[in-house]
Amino acid sequence: MKTKLNTYNVQLLLLVFLAWDPARLVLANIQEDEAKNNITIFTRILDRLLDGYDNRLRPGLGDSITEVFTNIYVTSFGPVSDTDMEYTIDVFFRQKWKDERLKFKGPMNILRLNNLMASKIWTPDTFFHNGKKSVAHNMTMPNKLLRIQDDGTLLYTMRLTVQAECPMHLEDFPMDAHSCPLKFGSY
């Protein structure tokens, strides 16, 4: 009984000693301070970027066109309805452009932001020409991502489900071949 008690006391002392390691505490404090500094720097960069920024004006207004590059990653396609002449497609829709007003200098070269920032920054007015219905996914929060690079390049990604029309010429049904494009552009 006494041996078990002594073993227990030694284990408890060892546990307390390991938990009270001053070097570990100092390292934890340094990491916590670095995290707080990064948050402070991140906040300052965002505050400076948005100070005087007007999201109603497109980048380069009056000087040049704003070139928007797009990319679509299809996660699912279908169903296709021959009676309604439409199809459904789930996609990650990515748009990339440059906004000189959003250049920044800091210890990080990319700011990864949530969907709330997208409403504070100019975004392209892209729509689907042959879209009947488009739904942005919102489970558990809006499925949107905004990244700003230090040179002012933005990447805006959102998850969408699009119902689009697909004119079908059913002359040799059910052996027809169809092309169902997804057409999009700017207003």
* For the chain, domain boundaries: 2-50, 69-186
| CATH classification for the domain delimited by 69-186, as one of 2.70.50.60, 2.70.170.10, 1.10.357.10, 2.40.128.30 | 2.70.170.10
Q: Are strands 126-128 and 184-186 parallel, antiparallel or unpaired?
A: antiparallel
Residue 95, both tokens? 């748009």
**Predicted local confidence at residue 137, as pLDDT:** 84
**Predicted local confidence at residue 187, as pLDDT:** 81
The pLDDT profile of the chain, 187 residues, written as one tens digit per residue, is 555 545 555 554 444 455 555 555 444 554 555 556 667 887 888 888 889 999 999 998 888 889 999 999 999 998 988 889 899 999 999 999 999 999 998 888 999 988 888 889 999 999 898 888 888 887 777 888 999 999 999 999 999 999 999 888 778 877 888 788 888 988 8
**Dist CA 49 CA 61 (whole Å):** 18
Residue 145, both tokens? 């991502």
The sign one gets for the Cα dihedral 21, 24, 30, 33 is: negative
Q: Are strands 110-113 and 144-149 parallel, antiparallel or unpaired?
A: antiparallel
pTM score, whole prediction: 0.73
What residue ranges in the chain does DSSP mark as E strands?
69-81, 86-98, 110-113, 126-128, 131-136, 144-149, 153-165, 184-186
